[in-house]
């Protein structure tokens, strides 16, 4: 899938989200998301991206990035985000999905399974309704606008690692990701076991993030002063 096709499909999905969901009017939250998102987008180095950042009023604690760079943060996420550093962990992760072209990867995988041999190359190499249909299938666009991409555990881990690097390059404290995921782990509600989920279980994710931290810290610009000690050390709730 070309960059232009990927961006066009992301814009189509974003339009459906904005027509279906209720955008937030909380000026402080909107400013925070745009401030942090803009800083991370500036260091992403993603050519052809169209970075836009929105807050929507939805109680589910979630965020997602559509192909091409349009990021949505649900209002339900903010009770678990204690500062800009923790928000940077969320947005860095979502920007990483776009940077790694995970959306296009999932569409290509779906098409490779659904279409026989030569037809795959033909459709991927040209503008085709089938491409849009495959994208809609992966994202659930249509009847219920289920636009949250069901990333695989491998993609999630990759986005965690890249996201930590991006937030560090933007001057945010990568250790804050551990605090954020501890906040999420402490949230009430049942979750499926890891082998039944496309996302890693919280404990596994936190351990992987701790393993990625030394690499991420190496990307903190030398000109950036040490971050304030407003997060507990890794492994401690808060």
- Computed over its alpha carbons, how large is the radius of gyration of the chain? 18
70-74 vs 52-56, strand pairing mode: parallel
Active site residue 94: yes
Residue whose pair of structure tokens reads 């995921």 in the numeric block: 181
Other CB atoms within 10 A of residue 199 CB: 17
Other CB atoms within 10 A of residue 63 CB: 22
Which spans in the chain are helix H?
3-20, 27-44, 84-99, 102-114, 117-124, 129-139, 153-169, 176-186, 202-217
Nearest CA-CA partner of 178 in 156, 160, 191: 160
The answer to whether 168 and 160 are in contact (CB under 8 A) is no
Which is catalytic among the residues 57, 94, 158, 215? 94
User: How far apart, in Å, are the Cα atoms of 35 and each of 47, 91, 101, 142?
Assistant: 20, 11, 23, 32
CA dist 91 and 12 (Å) reads: 21
The answer to whether 21 and 55 are in contact (CB under 8 A) is no
Instruction: Give me the active site residues, please.
Output: 94
């Amino acid at each position: 899938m070309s960059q232009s096709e990927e961006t066009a499909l992301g814009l189509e999905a974003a339009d459906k989200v904005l027509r279906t969901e209720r955008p937030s009017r909380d000026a402080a939250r909107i400013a925070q998301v745009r401030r942090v998102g803009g800083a991370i987008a500036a260091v992403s180095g993603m050519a052809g991206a169209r970075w836009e950042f929105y807050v929507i009023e939805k109680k589910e604690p979630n965020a997602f990035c559509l192909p091409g760079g349009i990021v949505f943060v649900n209002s339900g996420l903010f009770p678990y985000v204690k500062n800009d550093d923790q928000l940077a962990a969320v947005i860095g992760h979502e920007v990483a999905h776009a940077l790694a072209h995970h959306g296009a990867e999932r569409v290509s995988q779906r098409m490779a399974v659904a279409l026989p041999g030569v037809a795959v190359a033909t459709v991927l190499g040209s503008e085709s309704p089938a491409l849009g249909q495959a994208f809609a299938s992966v994202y659930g666009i249509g009847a219920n606008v289920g636009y949250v991409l069901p990333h695989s555990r491998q993609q999630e881990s990759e986005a965690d690692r890249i996201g930590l690097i991006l937030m560090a390059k933007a001057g945010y404290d990568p250790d804050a990701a551990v605090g954020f995921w501890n906040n999420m782990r402490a949230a009430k509600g049942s979750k499926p076991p890891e082998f039944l989920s496309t996302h890693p279980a919280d404990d596994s994710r936190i351990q992987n993030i701790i393993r990625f931290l030394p690499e991420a810290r190496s990307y903190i610009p030398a000109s950036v002063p040490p971050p304030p000690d407003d997060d507990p050390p890794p492994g401690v709730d808060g």
